[in-house]
Chain A
Amino acid sequence: MADNREFFYRRLHSLLGVIPVGLFMTQHLVVNHFATKGEEAFNQAAGFMGSLPFVLVLETLIIFLPLLFHAIYGLYIAFTAKNNPGRFGYFRNWMFVLQRWSGVITLIFIAWHVWETRVQAALGAEVNFQMMENILDNPFMLVFYIAGVLAAIFHFANGLWSFCVSWGIAVSPRSQRIVTYATLIVFFALSYVGLSAILAFV
C-alpha cells in the first residue's frame, strides 16, 4: 500500500470485523434462532428486521460496505501470508492459518447466501421459513450451510481475540490466554445458536 495508509487500513479492517460486521452476524444468528420457536415466530422476526425503516440505508452502511472492505482487504492480507503450520505447529500459528482459511470459506458462503436470499428478495421472492426449508431440504446445501456458519463463527470468535491484541487490549501472555478462553466460549455459544437455527428448518 502506498503512502503510509497501511496502519489505517489495517486498524479499520480490524475494527470493521467486530463493529459492525461481527455485531451484525451475532444479531443475525440470534434472530434466526426464532426458527426453533416455529414457523410463525421466525417469519414475524424476519419480517420485523426486513421492515425496519431506512432498511436499505442500514443494510448498506452496517453490512454491505463494511463487509466488502473487510472481505477484500482480508483476502489481500490472507494471500500475502506464507502459511507454515507444517514447520511451526504451534497453537497460535494454527489459529493464524485457520483465521485465513475460515475467512475464505466465509466469503464463499456469504456470497452464495446473499445471492440466494437477499438478492432473490430484491427480485421479488419472499424470504421466509418456507424458503429456508426448501434450501436446506437438499443435503448438500445443509452441509454447506453448516460449514459456512461454523466457519463464520470461528472467524469472528478468533477474530475477537486478534482484535484484542491488535488494539493493545490484551498485552500480557496471561491476558491473551484468558481472552483465548473467553473467545472459545463465544465460539461454542454462537455455534449452538447458529446450528440449532439451521436444524430447526430440517
Chain B
Amino acid sequence: MSEQKTVRFVITRQNAADSTPYEEEFELPYRPNMNVISALMEIRRNPVNRKGEKTTPINWDMNCLEEVCGACSMNINGKPRQSCTALVDQLEQPIRLAPMNTFPVVRDLQVDRSRMFDSLKRVKAWVPIDGTYDLGPGPRMPERKRQWAYELSKCMTCGVCLEACPNVNSKSNFIGPQPLSQVRLFNAHPTGAMNRDERLETIMGDGGLANCGNSQNCVQSCPKGIPLTTSIAALNREATFQSFRNFFGSDHAVD
C-alpha cells in the first residue's frame, strides 16, 4: 500500500486576547471533499500537533456552514474568506490559517466582529417604522429596484472587506466599506429614504466615507459580490450634494 495522503495545516494561534500569537502545525489524514472547518473539527476530536504532542483544540467561530452568516471568516493562505466553503482540494498546502487581525482576536481563529455591528447602529441601518400609532402602509418599492437592492442586502457582516482594506487599521478610525454600502441600501428603500439625510450626515462624520482611498480591494474580496465601490462612489456623489445643501441651505432636506 502506498503512503496515506495527508493534509498539512499551519495555524496561527493565540491563547487569549492579549497573549502573543504562535504557530502550530497539524497533519491529518486526507478525506475526499474536506473543507477547512471539517479539518478543524478533526483536530478538535484529536488535538495532537504534527510533532505528536497533545495540544488544546483550536477555537474558531461558525454557525450556518453554508456561507450566509459570515461568522467563520479567517485568513486562509493569506486571503480573508469563509472557512466553511474553503475546500481543501482547492487550496495550496500547507494550508495557513490565521485570524483576521483587523478585528480583536478572542482566541485562536475567533475574532470579535462587534465593530461592524456598532457601525450598523451608528448609521441606522434599518427602516424606522416604530411609533405610538399605526403609520399605515409605506410607499411601494418598484420591483426592479427591489431586485437591485437585494444584491446589497446580501451582506453577512463577515468582515472580509474590512480585512482587505488598507485604510481600515489600528492607525485609522475608518468604519470600512460594509456599513457604507448598507447606508446605500437603506437610503434606497422608500421608507428608509425618509431618514436619508441623517444617514448621510453620519457617514460624513469622522471615520466615515471620506476615508476611502479607493484601493478597491473590498469589491474584489467580498464573497457576496456586493458592488461596494459603486456604493461608495454613489455615496460620494450624494455626500457632495448633501454638503452643498448644508452649506447653502436647501428646501430639499429629504427628497
Contacts and interface: CB of A to CB of B under 8 A. Distances in A.
A7 B236 contact: no
Given A165-B236, A168-B236, A173-B230, A81 B213 contact: yes
Nearest to B237: A168
Interface centre among B172, B212, B217, B235 (most CB of A within 10 A): B217
A3 B167 CA distance: 20
Interface residues of A, number: 36
Given A77-B213, A82-B169, A168-B234, A87 B243 contact: no
Contact of A7 (B209, B220, B221): B209
A160 to B, nearest CB: 12
Interface string B109-146: 00000000000000000000000000000000000000
B233 A80 contact: no
A151 B237 CA distance: 29
Nearest to A1: B206
A162 B236 CA distance: 11
Interface string B191-205: 000000000000011
A10 B208 CA distance: 11
Contact of B243 (A11, A84, A95): A11
Contact of B79 (A1, A77, A87, A92): A87
Contacts of A81: 166-167, 169, 172, 213
Contacts of A99: 213
Given A80-B171, A93-B166, A176 B217 contact: no
B216 A90 contact: yes
A64 interface: no
Contacts of A169: 237
Interface in A46-65: none
Contact of A88 (B167, B204, B210, B217): B217
A34 to B, nearest CB: 36
Contacts of B220: 88, 90
B148 to A, nearest CB: 13
Contacts of B212: 166
Nearest to B221: A88
A170 B233 contact: yes
A95 B210 CA distance: 18
A3 B172 CA distance: 15
A6 B210 contact: yes
A7 B215 contact: no
B205 A171 contact: no
B21 interface: no
Ranked nearest first, the 3 interchain pairs of A and B with the lowest CB-CB distance are A168-B237, A10-B210, A96-B215
29 contacts: A4-B206, A5-B206, A7-B209, A7-B210, A7-B239, A7-B243, A11-B210, A77-B213, A81-B169, A81-B172, A81-B213, A82-B167, A84-B166, A84-B217, A88-B164, A88-B220, A92-B216, A96-B213, A162-B214, A165-B229, A165-B232, A167-B237, A167-B240, A168-B233, A168-B234, A168-B240, A169-B237, A170-B233, A171-B236
